[in-house]
Chain A
């Protein structure tokens, strides 16, 4: 949690320094959700989320270097600088994105779970062993695709948990201004036969325990669930949000109930950690994030030839049919766009 927070603070600075571009949404305040949820499941359980994704990436085990360098648009980034802040992907750690279009990840999340179940049951002839965590914002609850995803998950017994990170706002819209039945969000899952839970997302232990129980139930029964995860984002929606739609008092009330501070106090009270060991840890965290910035500064810009990589898989080698696309050299250079400085040509 400390790593995520420190990372996001430095990320904000880097954005202000114009090292990071585009849209960038930080996770400060919601750390306990990503950490508690990912710890409550197994590394082989897939996860997928929206554009506010740095916390999930780090919690899932992406290095601070890969995450930061992606936002710097550098080769050392998790997607070689092609995806950016909103689109963090980490296949080895079973993180299937960062998705920029609100709600887009919800049918995909059902699809990840469909695949794990299919593999376990149809291909391997066994029992379902995995559960998928699909995170979405409270604003995403209003996308039509989400309802189709829930219906499919309910219909096909898909082991996916839709975790609504209910931070009370979608951009400047307070939840009750945009969403019906916001006092009982779980009704949306209930309508599709999903198991439901309301969880205090500002309490790491609650997130961990409740999510663990729920995930094990979904895994064992191969059924979907809906979680109303109550939380709060301390900062603006993105980097350019003056937060005029809420009061400073409200923000302070939530900040006083900070999940990191609470968990730290609990650990201290129970003698699990000492003031010194916490200090040591913080030092390590700061060093890790500082190092990620240095790494991102030093990591090279992608070569121009990278524009044309990863467009196709090309399992049979470079396509050489009669309809060879222009950009692969199949036609005259009619757009004049491939004249390069000679140093960085097409591969």
Chain B
């Protein structure tokens, strides 16, 4: 970890001086992609509606105008084909960014992204790797129903050889995306349709955020809340509510789950003696389950209670707004889990 952090390209956005600049999550991702495309001609973006339509979610807005159709490429609705094609190009040394309009649609490309990209280096005995970024919306949007609401980290984090980034705020999205593009390995970058319009301070000036380096979003002494992606924001909301009840939560944003910054979590739990893991994917064989197991192992003597977990309910995502809200790891569920974990239920 320290070796990685000592690399001068890595900096936390909070360490940069300058005026406050509030931009949307989608702008932050676009800035990262554009900056990297300016510095490296091998980087290009492809996916459905990314060019002439300016992106289905406007993440790539204006990029066609700047970089032209050879580098911002509209594809047909052929995920298996264009993901595989990009992997082939990456093996040749190009650095593709593949946009899945939604990670839910990556399932039809499961073979290339899981069987080729993460295994190429290993199977070739280190001869050729796969410097590629797959990115798109992950998790429930709003009432998109069960086929369009996948949390693919539940499936994909099981696979060795992929790096999985799940940012929770614009500043991190930018710094992590730049790292993802410069990384020599396949990176799955998971955004959320529900967060693309979220605004946050993103400093001017260049910074990259290292993978496997969690951020402590809120310091606290009674219970550690560990999460990543959109639910981090729910954790912060829950922490405010719980603070009024006298429960002081420490909120840790893992930012990447592969690699996973266990030391930061362990350090926190050794202080709070209590942990709740919040993960939007389903509970069975999930990254949240993995983290809970690791906390149990490393903090066995420090825990006052078993690690509580909040997930989406173990059913397909329902369409009805009421059922969907109940199904997701919402603020209410997080509060209940923390109260239970701290014996305040």
Chain A interface (Cβ within 8 Å of chain B)?
Answer: 21-23, 70, 73-74, 79, 81-84, 86-87, 99-104, 139-140, 142-145, 170-173, 177-179, 245, 301-302, 304, 306-308, 311, 325-327, 333-337, 339
- Please list 20 pairs of residues, one from A and one from B, whose beta carbons are closer than 8 Å in the complex, sorted by A's number: A73-B143, A81-B318, A82-B320, A84-B144, A100-B148, A102-B77, A142-B76, A172-B49, A173-B49, A173-B53, A178-B74, A304-B323, A307-B313, A307-B327, A311-B316, A326-B314, A335-B283, A337-B313, A337-B333, A339-B336
Cα(A99)–Cα(B146), bound, Å: 11
Is the beta-carbon distance between B81 and A335 smaller than 8 angstroms?
Answer: no
Partner of B108, one of A143, A325, A335: A143
Does B21 interact with chain A (Cβ within 8 Å)? no
Partner of B48, one of A171, A245, A326: A171
Is the beta-carbon distance between A336 and B337 smaller than 8 angstroms?
Answer: yes
Main SS class of interface, A? loop
Partner of A139, one of B77, B311, B319: B77
Do A335 and B309 form a contact, CB below 8 Å, given A100-B148, A103-B108, A178-B74? Answer: yes
Given contacts A82-B319, A87-B145, A334-B306, 18 further A-B contacts (CB under 8 A): A99-B147, A101-B107, A143-B77, A143-B78, A144-B78, A144-B108, A171-B56, A178-B74, A178-B75, A178-B77, A301-B320, A301-B322, A304-B326, A307-B318, A327-B313, A335-B337, A336-B308, A336-B340
Nearest A residue (CB) for B337: A336
Nearest B residue (CB) for A238: B56
Cα(A86)–Cα(B318), bound, Å: 12
Which of A145, A334, A336 has the most B CB atoms < 10 Å from its CB? A336
Do A336 and B310 form a contact, CB below 8 Å, given A142-B78, A172-B49, A245-B53? Answer: yes
Is the beta-carbon distance between A335 and B308 smaller than 8 angstroms?
Answer: yes
Cα(A173)–Cα(B315), bound, Å: 35
Does B116 interact with chain A (Cβ within 8 Å)? no
Cα(A82)–Cα(B319), bound, Å: 5
Residues of B with C-beta under 8 A to A335: 283, 308-311, 333, 337
Nearest A residue (CB) for B80: A144
Does B321 interact with chain A (Cβ within 8 Å)? yes
Residues of B with C-beta under 8 A to A100: 144-145, 147-148
Is the beta-carbon distance between A245 and B145 smaller than 8 angstroms?
Answer: no
Partner of B309, one of A81, A302, A307, A334: A334
Cα(A308)–Cα(B327), bound, Å: 10
Is the beta-carbon distance between B53 and A140 smaller than 8 angstroms?
Answer: no
> How would residues 98 to 119 of chain B score, 1 for a CB under 8 Å from any chain A CB and 0 otherwise?
0000001101100000000000
Is the beta-carbon distance between B319 and A84 smaller than 8 angstroms?
Answer: yes
Residues of A with C-beta under 8 A to B108: 101, 103-104, 143-145
Nearest A residue (CB) for B339: A336
Cα(A144)–Cα(B84), bound, Å: 12
Cα(A66)–Cα(B148), bound, Å: 22
Residues of A with C-beta under 8 A to B198: none
Q: Which 9 A-B pairs have the closest CB atoms?
A: A84-B319, A21-B143, A73-B320, A22-B143, A142-B76, A178-B76, A172-B53, A336-B337, A336-B336
> How would residues 51 to 69 of chain B score, 1 for a CB under 8 Å from any chain A CB and 0 otherwise?
0110010000000000000
Residues of A with C-beta under 8 A to B197: none
Is the beta-carbon distance between B308 and A21 smaller than 8 angstroms?
Answer: no
